[in-house]
């Protein structure tokens, strides 16, 4: 390949195109990724398991298949990473937990199979908070993942390994899972695009269950086009998932050029509370103004119930987790810690196999479901969930799209999340409502703070309306620039002023630069 731009600078779709036209070989692309892994993985720790020899064999085979015309499509030949709570046949799948540290699934998750059918291949399994329970990827048996933008910071979580791998070039795109924000928040913290689809769009078969009524897998990618391509590849009806939906083809690619003219965008005032980092607010408001300039109708409104979303979410998630995690009893797979009898073996196995946060959530969930407390806690949360969903139904009668921040702050310093679990949970305030209501939501970059850390913008639409999200996301990206421009983009300080150029020293080359800066100035 010519020297204009390194292979690792390409998006997944750009790479797929170059592979298709024979400009880049599949093995060549993989070797570029492996070289990057050798440079950075030791410090970033994106992966729990890497299978480089297996990946080399797959790359060779795929190159042959491409030449014979046996595989095609935008992702054919592209190296991927997959979060380590998605089952991969023959490749260890740990969920970041000691209890599954030697578990090798005898089957593939449907999303994994779909991705491979599209001609993509998987080189490793990415790190996560144990069973997806956390938002910093520090709560993994395998150790913490670091943020490629600043290694002293968290990559976000729970899909932090996937996000860090994409952001650092240790793969071209990745799958994450999102139960309460675990795709969107790490994507925001690492300057990437992440989508949680409408509940039921992507099969949960082979996604190791945490909270079944909210778990959804989805893409973490460098840009909006990649996100559309991956989403189209992984979405499918699956009779192996009882909550899978039969949907019409998503047609996301065609949404990318439709623009936002006439779209009604609601801005929930309650997403701009005092705890929001000022730079995040400035950047998000600038994006809002830009979409308005592009023809959208923007209006602020009171969403309501936002303060109840997090306790509702945690009560339900912990209850479902306590039930889902009952299966780890040390009998058929996973760790077994011998005790004095059957029950003691269960208790010892679970005490030694689960980390502190997982135990905390199992205890709360068991409590919320137990006799005498069920009505007061679990049932109440299920009712609150209906109120929240009803409110979204109502809001989407008026608005096509909601816009706000993806997270209250940019990526926190590693180790800075204190001992109080409730404080840690509150960081999920902007993401959990979409999981409770089952609606699609995307996070995408919209600037950098004074420290140079990426800021995430969140777009939410009614169920089944992913296309509307992609219309707005692609419009914004065209103005703001993609991930390559993000590195060179200027930082925003607390007053919304633009500072000097970023640490990468790039120059922002964009037709709409002037408009963007004007937008920032107005914020």
Catalytic residue numbers, as ranges: 83, 158, 182
Nearest CB to another protein, comparing residues 348 and 497? 348
Q: Please give the angle made by the CA atoms of 165, 109 and 457, to the nearest 5 degrees.
A: 45
Pair of tokens at residue 153: 């910071």
Tell me which stretch binds another protein (CB under 8 A): 61-69, 103-111, 133-141, 496-504. Answer: 103-111
Q: 148, 153, 115: which is closest to 8 by C-alpha?
A: 148
Nearest CB to another protein, comparing residues 389 and 484? 389
The one among 35, 38, 43, 102 contacting another protein by CB under 8 A: 102
Neighbour-count burial of 424, counting CB atoms closer than 10 A to its CB (0-12 exposed, 13-18 middle, 19+ buried): middle
364 binds another protein (CB under 8 A): yes
Q: What are the helix (H) ranges across 80-137?
A: 110-117
Helical axes 224-234 vs 110-117, angle rounded to 10°: 110
244 binds another protein (CB under 8 A): yes
> Bridge-partner residues for 81, per DSSP?
124, 174
Q: DSSP class of residue 159?
A: S
SS (H, E, C) 369-382: HCCCCCHHHHHHHH
- Tell the smallest beta-carbon distance from residue 429 to another protein (Å): 13
101 binds another protein (CB under 8 A): no
418 binds another protein (CB under 8 A): no
The one among 242, 257, 273, 416 contacting another protein by CB under 8 A: 242
Separation between Cα atoms, residue 475 and residue 97, nearest integer Å: 40
Nearest CB to another protein, comparing residues 57 and 387? 387
* Contacting residues for 253 by C-beta, under 8 A, at least 6 apart: 225, 228, 229, 232
The one among 261, 299, 383, 415 contacting another protein by CB under 8 A: 383
424 binds another protein (CB under 8 A): no
Helix (H, G, I), strand (E, B) or coil at 16: helix
- Tell the smallest beta-carbon distance from residue 349 to another protein (Å): 9
Separation between Cα atoms, residue 290 and residue 447, nearest integer Å: 13
The one among 463, 471, 490, 491 contacting another protein by CB under 8 A: 463
- Tell the smallest beta-carbon distance from residue 308 to another protein (Å): 6
Strands (E), 142-245: 146-147, 150-154, 173-178, 193-196, 216-221
The one among 124, 132, 157, 334 contacting another protein by CB under 8 A: 334
Tell me which stretch binds another protein (CB under 8 A): 30-38, 63-71, 349-357, 447-455. Answer: 349-357
Nearest CB to another protein, comparing residues 235 and 287? 235
61 binds another protein (CB under 8 A): no
Separation between Cα atoms, residue 452 and residue 506, nearest integer Å: 13
Nearest CB to another protein, comparing residues 4 and 332? 332
Nearest CB to another protein, comparing residues 199 and 476? 199
467 binds another protein (CB under 8 A): no
> Bridge-partner residues for 79, per DSSP?
121
> Bridge-partner residues for 413, per DSSP?
153
425 binds another protein (CB under 8 A): yes
Q: How far is CA 277 from the centre of its chain?
A: 21
Tell me which stretch binds another protein (CB under 8 A): 8-16, 358-366, 449-457, 478-486. Answer: 358-366
Q: Are 250 and 205 in contact (CB under 8 A)?
A: no
15 CB neighbour count, 10 Å cutoff? 27
Rg (C-alpha) for the chain, rounded Å, is 22
396 binds another protein (CB under 8 A): no
- Tell the smallest beta-carbon distance from residue 222 to another protein (Å): 30
181 binds another protein (CB under 8 A): no
Separation between Cα atoms, residue 231 and residue 202, nearest integer Å: 9
What is the contact surface with another protein in residues (CB under 8 A)?
102-104, 106-107, 199-200, 213, 239, 242-245, 307-308, 311-312, 314-315, 318, 322, 326, 329-336, 338-339, 341-343, 345-348, 350-351, 354, 359-360, 362-364, 366-368, 370, 377, 379-387, 389, 420-422, 425, 437-438, 463
């Amino acid at each position: 390949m010519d020297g204009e731009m390194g292979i690792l600078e390409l998006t997944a779709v750009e790479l797929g195109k170059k592979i298709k036209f024979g400009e880049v070989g599949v093995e060549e692309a993989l070797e570029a990724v492996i070289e990057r892994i050798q440079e950075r993985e030791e410090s970033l720790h994106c992966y729990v398991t890497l299978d480089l020899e297996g990946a080399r064999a797959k790359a060779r085979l795929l190159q042959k298949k491409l030449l014979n015309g046996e595989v095609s499509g935008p992702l054919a030949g592209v190296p991927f990473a997959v979060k380590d709570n998605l089952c991969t046949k023959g490749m260890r799948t740990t969920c970041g937990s000691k209890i599954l540290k030697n578990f090798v699934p005898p089957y593939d998750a449907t999303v994994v199979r779909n991705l491979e059918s599209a001609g993509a291949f998987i080189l490793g399994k990415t790190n996560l908070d144990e069973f997806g329970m956390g938002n910093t990827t520090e709560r993994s048996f395998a150790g913490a993942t670091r943020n490629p933008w600043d290694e002293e910071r968290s990559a976000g979580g729970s899909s932090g390994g996937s996000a860090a791998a994409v952001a650092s070039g240790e793969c071209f795109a990745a799958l994450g899972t999102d139960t309460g924000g675990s795709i969107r928040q790490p994507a925001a913290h690492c300057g990437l695009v992440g989508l949680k689809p409408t509940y039921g769009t992507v099969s949960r078969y082979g996604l190791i269950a945490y909270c079944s009524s909210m778990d959804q897998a989805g893409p973490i990618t460098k840009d909006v086009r990649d996100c559309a391509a991956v989403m189209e590849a992984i979405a499918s009806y699956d009779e192996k998932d009882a909550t899978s939906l039969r949907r019409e083809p998503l047609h996301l690619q065609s949404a990318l050029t439709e623009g936002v003219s006439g779209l009604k965008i609601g801005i929930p005032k309650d997403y701009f509370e005092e705890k929001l980092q000022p730079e995040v607010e400035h950047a998000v408001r600038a994006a809002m103004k830009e979409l308005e300039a592009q023809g959208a109708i923007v209006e602020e409104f009171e969403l309501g119930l936002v303060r109840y979303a997090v306790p509702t979410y945690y009560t339900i998630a912990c209850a479902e987790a306590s039930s889902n995690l009952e299966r780890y009893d040390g009998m058929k797979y996973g760790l077994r810690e011998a005790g004095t009898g059957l029950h003691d073996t269960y208790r010892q196995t679970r005490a030694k196999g689960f980390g502190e946060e997982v135990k905390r959530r199992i205890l709360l969930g068991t409590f919320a479901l137990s006799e005498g407390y069920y009505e007061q806690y679990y049932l109440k949360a299920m009712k609150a969930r209906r109120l929240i969903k009803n409110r979204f139904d109502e809001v989407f009668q008026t608005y096509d799209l909601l816009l706000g921040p993806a997270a209250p702050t940019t990526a926190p310093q590693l180790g800075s999340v204190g001992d109080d679990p409730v404080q840690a949970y509150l960081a999920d305030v902007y993401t959990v409502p979409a999981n409770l209501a089952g609606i699609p939501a995307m996070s995408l970059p919209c600037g950098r703070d004074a420290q140079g850390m990426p800021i995430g913008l969140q777009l939410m639409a009614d169920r089944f309306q992913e296309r509307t999200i992609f219309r707005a996301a692609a419009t914004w990206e065209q103005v703001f620039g993609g991930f390559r421009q993000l590195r060179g983009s200027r930082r925003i300080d607390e007053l919304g002023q633009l500072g000097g150029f970023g640490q990468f020293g790039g120059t922002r080359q964009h037709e709409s630069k002037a408009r963007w800066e004007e937008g920032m100035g107005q914020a």
